[in-house]
Chain A
Amino acid sequence: MNELVFFINNVVIAGSVSGSIYAIGAVGVTLVFSIMRFAHFAHADMMTFGAFMVLLLTLLFPGAGDAVGLPTAVVMLPLAMLFTALLAVGIDRAFYKPLRAHGVKPIVMVIGSLGVTLMLQGLIRLFAGTGGQSLYVDDRKEILRLALPFEGARAPIVITEPQIILFVLTIAAVVSLHLFLTRSRLGKAMRAMSDNPDLAQASGININLIVAVTWIIAGGLATIAGTLLSLDVTFKPDLSFFILLPIFAAAIVGGVGHPFGAIAGGFVVGFAETLAVFNWSVLLRPFRDSLPEWLAQAGNLAFVGTEYKIVVPFFILVAILVWRPTGIFKGKVI
């Protein structure tokens, strides 16, 4: 039984955590992709920027969380989302819009977004340094230990407060995004523009408005994803390219331009990562006596070491590009 608990702690919970983070990140990437038709490489640093905003606000108002009973960082999230959304719109006006107006190829936009990502990286690290920092400035990280009501299960299921917040926020973000895209006029116009930009224009839809709305959503979602990531571990200013690969893999697995596919893709990548670094020999331990010796002796049956975690999203990316480049839910942008 203890092995099962170990499995739940290390795979089910950990996989859901990274899956949620990738999912929210990938939704932002896929929305930008579907409206502006380029892979936005600055998304990871937008996430970091959002988390950095949360950190700053938490440092400014350390007591705010106590008043509500939530970690201060979570209380500060809406404000940080607003700032990041404004930043995203500003970046678009300053850097992407002129390129679009020139009618450049999408790949030039990609290079432009790499330039933007470097600028963000430089700014964030200039002010935040390169070391990790906890978002829990004044309050304590609650850790819940749920004992299982079974005979023989001595180890408890461990889940932390930020992880619970993370699941709640993920569900809230997905539901509100769904309502926005299917019920609101602007959300439908976004889908229309992703379907057929020319016809959207011919219908009188204001392209600049839709682009701005897309950036606001992308910035807001990036803040949520970055904050969740930082709450779960610590705020690390130098994740950038490491977080970018799983997010792009998730967006492509889900079919680019397909927000709910991106969510599924996020969980696929998140679970694949945790399953790949999980040491399977733990699960074999209870059957030690009935196994052949070479298998029982194997100390480490993980597919990849944690230092090679980044191989997993890459492998998924390669597999999906070879097998089905449109993604599991046929994406619109190939």
Chain B
Amino acid sequence: MSTQNEPRSDLVAAPSRLPKRELALFAALLVVVLGVYAVMGGAYSTRMLVEAACYAILALGLTIQWGYAGQFNAGVMGFVALGGFSAMLFSVPVNEAFWASELPGELGLALLYLVAAVLVVVGATRLDRLGLPKRWRTLIAVVVAVLLYLVVMSELRSVTEEIHSRVDFVGGLGLPAWTGWIVGGALAGGMGYFIGKICLGLRSDYLAIATLGIAEIIKAFLKNSEWLTRGTATVSPLPWPTPGPAELGFTLARALYLSLTAVIIAAIFFLLHRAYHAPWGRMIRAIRDNEISSAAMGKDINRRRLEIFVLGCILMGIGGGVLGSFNSLFDPQGYLPLNHTFLVLVMVILGGPGNNLGTIFGAVAVYIIWIMSEPLALFLMHFAADIGQAWFGWDSPGNLDSRALQARVFVIGLLITLVLRFAPKGLLPEKVKYHD
């Protein structure tokens, strides 16, 4: 059930040739983009392209986890949200009311308590080195952890409630957006390290379960921490690192933003390409393809896996930051598993897991289809409802629009299962070359 013995056609290194398939697919994509430009206008199509480019960064993050290393991350949304949060925190103007009050000091004090509590608990877990029996050590550590947790939490809660009621929220740092993107990548990478450290030595299913869970938790945290993110009240506008629409008009400003994201993608693409063909990349693929023999050859499998997982998460964090800044709105409730996890998954498996070019193609193509499917779904639903009413006298339910959008959920699900069955290597399969 678990081994694949069928001969692989891609084992044979193809002689260098004109990449016809790639050229054809990208040419088709270009035609579609131009079509959208002609029909919907410049402002709309540049917005679509920028968003597609942001998704391409996310998809690159996922393609190295899934395509290079066979790790399935079911919680892309959480890492994207972390990036968006970080972009918001760093770029939004400073909240003078907060910094003028005594609240920063109190918050700092509460955070100091937190650090101290963590240190005490860590110390308690080391008590056995002083000769305490292990059972006692565990008991003491747990009791201390529970008590300190309650104390610190109630302290933190009172400070944060104070912040929320008096000055709305802590505000931003007023720094350029790109600082937030970098820190967002670091935050996401740190979270990935934590999850990966726990799950990567175990069955691959556990990683999927844990990432799914952490994504919902990150979302719950961002939604409920009103003092930090304003929660459901949302934060806007987020400043752009490039001149905004107010100065240049929509099309030009978005085109400028697009060129910025294009530079980022190009940089990531170049670095990944280098890494993929470097010894490091070969090692990663060796581990994916045959774990046991790689371990036998003395490769530190878990360390390599952790590296690749964290790298993927960093890219998702950066992509989330770029996307968040572009939307100019931080709304924790806007992060949905469908839009930010499964859409990215479809992009990767359709485009070609492990093939960076295929992944970028998949990202742009799927995003265009996704955007276009919204009006289409609404149209079809209203059409069906009208027919139902005219012919059979049915009363259409009131929340027709929100239901119509559920049809897209169905289509994404169907697409995933169909691709897995009929094109498991994607439209642009990874080219595995040997003896290069």
- Do A130 and B1 have beta carbons less than 8 Å apart? no
Q: Which of A12-20, A56-64, A114-122 contacts B (4 or more CB under 8 A)?
A: A114-122
Is there a chain B Cβ closer than 8 Å to A181's Cβ?
A: no
Is there a chain A Cβ closer than 8 Å to B165's Cβ?
A: no
With a CB–CB cut-off of 8 A, which chain A residues contact B410? 118-119, 121-123, 126
Q: How large is the interface on B (under 10, 10 to 19, 20 to 34, 35 or more residues)?
A: 35 or more
A317 to B434, CA, bound (A): 40
With a CB–CB cut-off of 8 A, which chain B residues contact A318? 198, 210
Is there a chain B Cβ closer than 8 Å to A212's Cβ?
A: no
Interface of A is mostly: helix
Is there a chain B Cβ closer than 8 Å to A26's Cβ?
A: no
Fill in one digit per residue for A78-116: 1 if any B CB lies within 8 Å of its CB, else 0: 000000000000000001001110111111101110111
Fill in one digit per residue for A311-330: 1 if any B CB lies within 8 Å of its CB, else 0: 10110011001100100000
Q: Which of A47-55, A217-225, A265-273, A298-306 contacts B (4 or more CB under 8 A)?
A: A298-306
- Do B399 and A244 have beta carbons less than 8 Å apart? no
- Do A121 and B409 have beta carbons less than 8 Å apart? yes
B220 → chain A closest CB, angstroms: 6
Q: Which of A35-43, A133-141, A146-154 contacts B (4 or more CB under 8 A)?
A: A35-43
Is there a chain B Cβ closer than 8 Å to A310's Cβ?
A: yes
Central interface residue in A102, A111, A301, by most chain B CB within 10 Å: A111
Q: How large is the interface on A (under 10, 10 to 19, 20 to 34, 35 or more residues)?
A: 35 or more
- Do A118 and B2 have beta carbons less than 8 Å apart? no
With a CB–CB cut-off of 8 A, which chain B residues contact A307? 220, 223-224
- Do B206 and A321 have beta carbons less than 8 Å apart? yes
Interface of B is mostly: helix
Q: Which of B89-97, B252-260, B417-425 contacts A (4 or more CB under 8 A)?
A: B417-425
- Do A110 and B72 have beta carbons less than 8 Å apart? yes
With a CB–CB cut-off of 8 A, which chain A residues contact B21? none
- Do A126 and B403 have beta carbons less than 8 Å apart? yes
B223 → chain A closest CB, angstroms: 8
Our pick among A104, A118, A244, A313 for the contact of B409 (Cβ within 8 Å) is A118
- Do A99 and B420 have beta carbons less than 8 Å apart? yes
With a CB–CB cut-off of 8 A, which chain B residues contact A325? 202, 206
Central interface residue in B199, B342, B410, B424, by most chain A CB within 10 Å: B410
With a CB–CB cut-off of 8 A, which chain B residues contact A322? 198
- Between A and B, 30 residue pairs with Cβ closer than 8 Å are A39-B205, A95-B417, A103-B1, A103-B3, A103-B6, A105-B70, A106-B205, A108-B420, A110-B208, A111-B349, A111-B420, A114-B416, A115-B420, A117-B413, A118-B338, A119-B410, A119-B414, A122-B409, A122-B411, A129-B402, A130-B403, A197-B1, A242-B216, A245-B212, A300-B154, A303-B146, A308-B217, A318-B198, A321-B206, A333-B203
